Structure 1
Amino acid sequence: MGVQNILSSFSSFLYEIRFIILFYVIGDWASTVFALPFGEEYNSVPAMILENYGIYHLLLIKVGFIFLLFYLAPVIKVSKYRWAFTKHIIESVGILVTINNLMVIFNGNSLIQAIGLV
């Protein structure tokens, strides 16, 4: 019974964070795969992971982040506003990095370069 309850809980959790999975995990990772031949990774942590371990380890770390979020969700969900804020921040970061990578692919410049941060 306990395992079934955890699986059901995890399934509903995955539905609840579907936009995080779409943008932060899949969107960022897939667009990074396609953008790397056109430029370089400016974020030092993913750059180190990519250089030392490869692109699939970056995906593995993103999946690990989902499990960490599942583990921490009961603490965050104590306040529904905190949970909504956390989800929206992660989704927003996912959207921004996906847009950044897509700009590298289609425009040759990233969003960060267009703003003038790099």
Structure 2
Amino acid sequence: MVLKNILVAGSDPFTQFLGDIKHIVLFYVLGDFITTYHALDHGFEENPFLAILMDEFGIWSMLIMKVVFIGIIYWYYLTIMSTGSVWKNYIWLATRSAVSLLGIFLVVNNLLVIFSKCSLVQFFTSY
């Protein structure tokens, strides 16, 4: 445990960032992309921006947008961590947790579309 903390404390910001965003990559990037790919066989993309983008350039454009978003998050991470605020670690934790939770929501929504042919949005707006 001590060795891990020494290695993490001495690492460069990009390596630290990659360790911090593992759940974002797992759920928001990979999970959402894979389940969206399969869910499109059972429904349509509800986000109008992504629907137009994927219609024009294909499903891989969504993955490119997610990589761009990771770049924006990295810029945000560097900005937050360069401040002298005592809250910077809490702000970063809240941000990455929120994006990870969004990814989990998107994966669950896509799985519902795949297996029940109904999204969470359709379910809640039908009542």
Task: Give 1:9 deviation, angstroms.
Answer: 3.0
Give the aligned residue type for 1:94: G
Whose radius of gyration is greater, 1 or 2?
2
Matches within 5 A, 1:18-37: 18-37=22-41
Aligned pair 1:59/2:68, yes or no? no
Give the aligned residue type for 1:80: N
Matched residue count: 112
Aligned pair 1:91/2:91, yes or no? no
Identity among equivalent positions (%) equals 36
- Summarize deviations over 1:81-111 as a string: whole Å, max 9, x none: 2111111111111111111000000111011
Q: Secondary structure, in 3 states, of the residue corresponding to 2:41? A: helix
1:107 paired residue number:
116
Task: Give 1:27 deviation, angstroms.
Answer: 0.6
RMSD: 1.9
Structure 2: 5+ residue runs without aligned partners? 1-10
- Which is helix-richer, 1 or 2? 1
